[in-house]
Structure 1
């Protein structure tokens, strides 16, 4: 909720960028260190309070200048640099982030993308109409607001459930817009790779503002155009990482050979495999046949960076109504289209409908056989995966003073997101008909003659590459497009009264009371083929949707016990409709200032997070790589969850959070912050990890379905997972931030250092058991990849019209639990930027600048991981060295 708050300003913690300044500058007159008082928005309280130096909660503040100084083109670029973030899904790929293309999110402390509450000007936002591979709903930060409209981003780094709602588990990220801006500002930025691909980003932005004594208007627009980086241009993986045993040409189950060898084994296509680019995986050569599969390298068909186009608009109007009352109305719109590649077709999983009759003109076996492979493989073209996302947002709020002591804030927010996912796959029924010679849209099946009367054969054999090619007509017939139309809507009513109820000798006792009502809708509409489970790999799902509402009542107080000690207390009760129930969560914080330059803080809070609509009542099918403990190889398999009738019995997760910290800010220019944090959660809501399920149930066809007889042997085709409550997760660590500012005859210098060290990230996984997740990739459990250390360090230099800065960013290595005994290497990169203020060249140029920068200056490739794609996409950036130029103008 948007709150005006008076506080004494000092240097705020930089948290993520290490050298920001917010508010007014400390007086330099050598007097009693009086501070300028400024009215600002501060996240984490509804009361008049303090800055980071005098705040009981750990804060990180990123100003608009800081976004500019790291060369951020979007929110994902910022998240990539945050040491307090682990496992955000901002480099979407087809293997771990299939449903999040074109979006971005936060994952503070690695506690999940749904555990960080995202606000815009203190108001809740709609979650995206899509989910992560593990079924988690999240707020798409890319669709919030044009970057040029952001004044700053404030992050509360401890639990804030008692303040904002029970889902602020890991903390809060609040985007605050530049409502008071006046004039016109525009910028153009272009960024490109220096080698291995021509991928580029172009960002065009503009904003304007106008106002008088009673009315103010600010509007902003941005256009973002990203070209793709394909794996064909920049291949980080090895052939073994991106090879499927199911290809085209394929393999076959042949009854006579099965009878001869006494077991259900596949036979490599005798008409060709290696000759047309296949990979012969031969187990035994028995003379008349090669027992094995014809594999397929799909590594060159995908995207490391998807093609993306995003348009955003935002406007806010504030109107003074007199007597210290204000009406504020804001609206936002975002439209994103993103496209990435898949392999030509997915593996064909429906073996019961993969029979090739003996009369098929290409059948070399002389008997009916079962096809094991994919409809299009070697030599095929990239299959496009298209996503579109459109978001609308509207907010109206009325604020004002009731009297000299009390004020009010009432607001209404409505927001809607539509996310449509289009993915090509083989149509099961059409494929079977075409194998039998009854393919094609003009086929007269009633005539009963295969390959005649407009009916076509689909040829699965290697002769399709030469003597018996498949026509475009039959290929169009067997390939369809799955369309998933996801929609999400939220409506929120907020009301807060704040004021004081007396005083102590140290000052007024502040109090705020309020309520919040919110309703949420989330649903998915699948196409008719999906409703009938008619796709061979993606299978399908049933439509589902659900409404849910919650009512929150809360109170907060700030008690100045002495001139040095402040006590903050907050309590929130939140009640959900249906079977979820209610919860009451407290937060207690204490601030102690033993001297003017030093403050000590501590906080404790509890939280309660309800399962999402999808987790209770929905189902998904994702595409993931799994390692097979039976065969020793890997498989690219469908991972599916299906909701039982009546939904799932999932309990809300509960948590506790502690934080203890200190801040030092003296007159020497040196500033230092340190925080110890500890989160512990029970009944954590997760989607079962597909690798953990495979490890626990490798031959149970009800959990892991295989290509062989009865689904108990052969290649993994399908893994069944579900949503449930895991046992627990506990994480703890330190955040450290230090910076020193000093002036010289050559300008102002500021070296800085900020780091996060994860001491513990312990998980209790339903299948994997107890896991020490700190310093672990956590591929085989529900956790996030968690390096033990992340730090940023560097220096800035400013002198009149010149600004130069460089950054050294380090991410420590991790154990690779997907590949036993392997490690994901550490990565250290260097960024640099130079900005020249054009005001030094001509009159009226103040506020206009030209900027040049480089990201990953030494072109470090991400550490190699033996997995699809070849790197850990939730931790590292695959792009290598990037250079950029930006021109900004203000009028």
Structure 2
């Protein structure tokens, strides 16, 4: 792979193919229920029409019949239950996630990241956020005809992002008649109701067709308090942590007349007695563990989602050789997310309860802590998608050869609106906690009697008044809430505009067959903005400040693909075919890149096929990567200049020069000494984009075989090996990496982003994204599909798909250029084995579909609250391991085709109500439970009426 190369590079595949037949045991590739041997019919992954892509690369297809036999109601759930699917970084279970991508549904093939799986709709890109995430909720399930999944790199055909693979959702067209669908389900705990209604109408004529599909879907939220593993936070059966957080909804304060409140070792935090007088300092008692806050009681476990969509497809034949195909899609997605009220500490914002506040019991500035329980933090996210994709195609004959051509366009616009409430205004809190008095009407008022502030301009707050206790200054007062908690909105728009032209056919007939080709050009422009309102940008709230993101880029691409038959109908070579493709992409921001792919197919006998591919790929930096606005956060980190921390270099020249004294102790929230590290900063650190990023690059290899023995009709066995190597990965630079480079490794160029206060603590760090990452992953897919001969008791079919992950290394370079391992198999919910077994039975109008979804056990780092050895608390490579067992979820569906042209299906996902184990690794969830596991038994009913 090279950059700024002005020519398309083609070559030969310099690799041998290793062949091994294995006994049939599990399976690979994917999908539950009856996936077809799609390799024989799919064209995803090639522009050459009619090419038998089974010969080059592993492809999986799920037909509409297959989708209807599953209990999933949206495209994302179907895809994320494939055995080759990883754990998307953002999911409905991740209520703590924030930003533009919240509320979306994503797919992550091979655990390479959702941004490295390209999603197409009818062969054209799905609209993405400024961060490059393609939201599958844009595609209504009622419009889907089939889904094709290419599990191999394909940048030579599709360009950027097709590193892990390609998902191509093919929609319904040429539909004649009508179809109404109803789907209703809920968990047997009585929550999480999922309802979906759709109508599809179509008509075909001599020269054209029109298909219309409308859909409404709503999934209610599930609350963390209603599940055993999330109701009490991350505390497991072996927990040694206190029950909840001492930043309690009952409020607590430290009396400066009795102890040194600035010293965490001597500070004593007290809360109001039941029925006590908040102005009497003697009516308070020391806060007990029973009064600690359990924030999960206010958190959503699964985000609520509501969708409305309208899809229209039209075709028209201008002549016998020229036709028009047009897709129009409108989709509106609304999601609701909630987390607990903010854990407010006055020391973090230097906003004590003022000595002259009407609510101060001691007449001196008072430090306090209060969980803002009355006002949970909520996020309402809306995404509106409008998509228009016309294509004119045709064919012509020349010199006894037929050539296919098409020219197409795509206009996709995504508009996002995110409305948030629950972050406290720091300007408002400073006023509400400042001077106040009781006026002549007996009402608390800001200011002083001599200089009052109008009630309409300020409302006093009493943070010592516990949740649920009435009184002046109570946070339950709606007017006080309006004063302290403004509602703010962030708006974003992304646009994708592209124009394509393709020509395909056969150049010449060789002894082994036609030499096929495809050539084409594409122009694409990406535009994006994501603009928080003035309040969010100001940073003057308990939330995280963020500046606007705005940018655009365009590109021009040209590609060439050849399908070269080498041998045919010979001994030990029934077929030997080489496929070669290369694509040159010229970007307005970073220049050019050429990416090629080579595929070889060898069929030594009719029943055995061997295939292999080698592919180069790339992922261009996104608008957010390049032009993202600065954002703030309170980071957890370890300061190597502090005494008593692991790897301390306290007192070395770099630390002293940077302003850290030799006896410096790391400070955390409230500028109090950290008891353990890593420790959360009490100051906001700033992160942002990097306009100098270059593309990620990748190399992928696959070798596989497909065996269809003639002596067992209906049996297909496939085995594929894969390996992906990604370099130049775009990752967030980290506070720990900057500090290590500066103070431990002595890279002075890294020290400029660190600012220390007079006492030596880090008061500010500015950092961004960088091309510092690498990834190397390897594994196997094994698939067994068997359609038994029809028996008197019915027709049986079996589909068993298994994926085995043998290697997963993710690393980041430090200043010395060394790789620091930050991920490996058995961490971060990387299952070594995932397997789906599907058994389908049909007899007349009745059918039963059963699926078992298997996840192997995990080893994960033992951390404080999940440690099986509570005397050892360690992190990273030095941590003792915590082991979890394997898990299997069972799904069942029973269906009946009624004589009035209807189908009724009853089903249950996780029919035995299996509960997964507690897991503390980073597993796309805000709770100690893997976000891809079922959270209970889900019961549903489906009704389909055709007319």
> How does the TM-score come out when normalised to structure 2?
0.80
Structure 1 residues 193 and 634, CA gap change in structure 2 (3 angstroms): farther
Structure 1 residue 521 corresponds to structure 2 residue 567: no
Task: Give the Cα separation in 2 of the matches to 1:655 and 1:640.
Answer: 35
Could you tell me which of 378, 388, 395 is aligned with 1:394? Answer: 388
Task: Give the Cα separation in 2 of the matches to 1:509 and 1:408.
Answer: 17
Please give the residue correspondences for 1:680-695 in structure 2 after superposition, counting only pairs within 5 Å: 680-688=725-733
Residues 303 and 336 of structure 2 are in contact (CA less than 8 Å); yes or no, is this contact kept in structure 1? yes
Please give the residue correspondences for 1:98-497 in structure 2 after superposition, counting only pairs within 5 Å: 100-128=101-129, 136-144=131-139, 146-195=140-189, 197-237=190-230, 239=232, 241=234, 243-250=244-251, 260=260, 263=263, 267-272=267-272, 295-345=292-342, 347=344, 351-374=348-371, 376-377=372-373, 380=374, 382-403=376-397, 404-424=401-421, 425-437=423-435, 449=451, 455-462=458-465, 465=469, 468-470=472-474, 471-497=477-503
Structure 1 residues 189 and 664, CA gap change in structure 2 (3 angstroms): same
Structure 1 residues 607 and 624, CA gap change in structure 2 (3 angstroms): farther
Could you tell me which of 571, 579, 584 is aligned with 2:582? Answer: 571
Residues 638 and 719 of structure 1 are in contact (CA less than 8 Å); yes or no, is this contact kept in structure 2? no
Q: Give the Å deviation of 1:504.
A: 1.1
Residues 267 and 293 of structure 1 are in contact (CA less than 8 Å); yes or no, is this contact kept in structure 2? no
Task: Give the Cα separation in 2 of the matches to 1:439 and 1:672.
Answer: 81
Larger mean Cα displacement after TM superposition, 760-769 or 103-112: 760-769
Please give the residue correspondences for 1:694-773 in structure 2 after superposition, counting only pairs within 5 Å: 712=761, 722-743=768-789, 744-766=791-813, 770-771=820-821, 773=823
Q: Give the Å deviation of 1:143.
A: 0.6
Could you tell me which of 21, 24, 35 is aligned with 2:36? Answer: 21
| Bigger RCO of structures 1 and 2 (CA < 8 A, at least 6 apart) | 2
Q: Give the Å deviation of 1:632.
A: 4.5
Structure 1 residues 187 and 609, CA gap change in structure 2 (3 angstroms): same
Residues 28 and 782 of structure 2 are in contact (CA less than 8 Å); yes or no, is this contact kept in structure 1? no
In structure 2, the residue matched to 1:597 is 607
Q: Give the Å deviation of 1:732.
A: 0.5
Give a deviation string over 1:611-659, Cα, whole Å, max 9, x none: 1111122146588996998535998989987466x94432211110000
Q: Give the Å deviation of 1:167.
A: 1.8
In structure 1, the residue matched to 2:833 is 789
Task: Give the Cα separation in 2 of the matches to 1:222 and 1:698.
Answer: 58
Could you tell me which of 680, 689, 696 is aligned with 1:653? Answer: 696
* 3-state SS in 1 of match to 2:115: coil
In structure 2, the residue matched to 1:674 is 719
* 3-state SS in 1 of match to 2:699: strand
In structure 2, the residue matched to 1:86 is 86
Residues 253 and 372 of structure 1 are in contact (CA less than 8 Å); yes or no, is this contact kept in structure 2? no
Q: Give the Å deviation of 1:256.
A: 6.5
Give a deviation string over 1:508-537, Cα, whole Å, max 9, x none: 11111111111001111111112221222x
Task: Give the Cα separation in 1 of the matches to 2:530 and 2:288.
Answer: 43
Structure 1 residues 120 and 83, CA gap change in structure 2 (3 angstroms): same
Structure 1 residues 834 and 704, CA gap change in structure 2 (3 angstroms): farther
Give a deviation string over 1:41-76, Cα, whole Å, max 9, x none: 620101134446x42011010111111111120123
In structure 2, the residue matched to 1:532 is 538
* 3-state SS in 2 of match to 1:90: coil
Residues 690 and 770 of structure 2 are in contact (CA less than 8 Å); yes or no, is this contact kept in structure 1? no
Task: Give the Cα separation in 1 of the matches to 2:380 and 2:470.
Answer: 32
Residues 33 and 69 of structure 2 are in contact (CA less than 8 Å); yes or no, is this contact kept in structure 1? no
Count of paired positions: 823
* 3-state SS in 1 of match to 2:234: helix
- Structure 1: which 5+ residue stretches go unaligned? 1-11, 25-37, 130-135, 277-286, 779-784
Residues 422 and 484 of structure 1 are in contact (CA less than 8 Å); yes or no, is this contact kept in structure 2? yes
* 3-state SS in 1 of match to 2:157: helix
Task: Give the Cα separation in 2 of the matches to 1:275 and 1:685.
Answer: 57
Structure 1 residues 515 and 158, CA gap change in structure 2 (3 angstroms): same
Larger mean Cα displacement after TM superposition, 797-806 or 434-443: 434-443
In structure 1, the residue matched to 2:597 is 587
Structure 1 residues 205 and 445, CA gap change in structure 2 (3 angstroms): same
Task: Give the Cα separation in 2 of the matches to 1:397 and 1:531.
Answer: 42
Task: Give the Cα separation in 1 of the matches to 2:827 and 2:567.
Answer: 47
Larger mean Cα displacement after TM superposition, 611-620 or 596-605: 611-620
* 3-state SS in 2 of match to 1:861: coil
Q: Give the Å deviation of 1:206.
A: 1.3
Structure 1 residues 452 and 889, CA gap change in structure 2 (3 angstroms): closer
Give a deviation string over 1:186-234, Cα, whole Å, max 9, x none: 1101111112x42210111111111112011111011101112111222
Structure 1 residues 118 and 97, CA gap change in structure 2 (3 angstroms): same
Residues 266 and 292 of structure 1 are in contact (CA less than 8 Å); yes or no, is this contact kept in structure 2? no
Q: Give the Å deviation of 1:770.
A: 3.5
Residues 391 and 415 of structure 1 are in contact (CA less than 8 Å); yes or no, is this contact kept in structure 2? yes
In structure 1, the residue matched to 2:943 is 887
Task: Give the Cα separation in 1 of the matches to 2:520 and 2:887.
Answer: 47
- Structure 2: which 5+ residue stretches go unaligned? 1-26, 236-243, 277-283, 569-574, 639-644, 646-673, 745-749, 864-878
In structure 1, the residue matched to 2:897 is 837
In structure 1, the residue matched to 2:510 is 504
Structure 1 residues 59 and 430, CA gap change in structure 2 (3 angstroms): same
Structure 1 residues 721 and 423, CA gap change in structure 2 (3 angstroms): farther
Could you tell me which of 914, 926, 931 is aligned with 1:860? Answer: 914
Structure 1 residues 274 and 726, CA gap change in structure 2 (3 angstroms): farther
Q: Give the Å deviation of 1:573.
A: 0.5
Task: Give the Cα separation in 2 of the matches to 1:576 and 1:439.
Answer: 64
Residues 437 and 456 of structure 1 are in contact (CA less than 8 Å); yes or no, is this contact kept in structure 2? no
Task: Give the Cα separation in 2 of the matches to 1:755 and 1:727.
Answer: 29
In structure 2, the residue matched to 1:30 is none
Residues 598 and 664 of structure 1 are in contact (CA less than 8 Å); yes or no, is this contact kept in structure 2? yes
* 3-state SS in 1 of match to 2:486: strand
* 3-state SS in 1 of match to 2:553: strand
In structure 1, the residue matched to 2:670 is none
* 3-state SS in 2 of match to 1:181: coil
CA RMSD across the alignment = 3.8
* 3-state SS in 1 of match to 2:547: coil
* 3-state SS in 2 of match to 1:127: coil
In structure 1, the residue matched to 2:842 is 798
Structure 1 residues 636 and 386, CA gap change in structure 2 (3 angstroms): farther
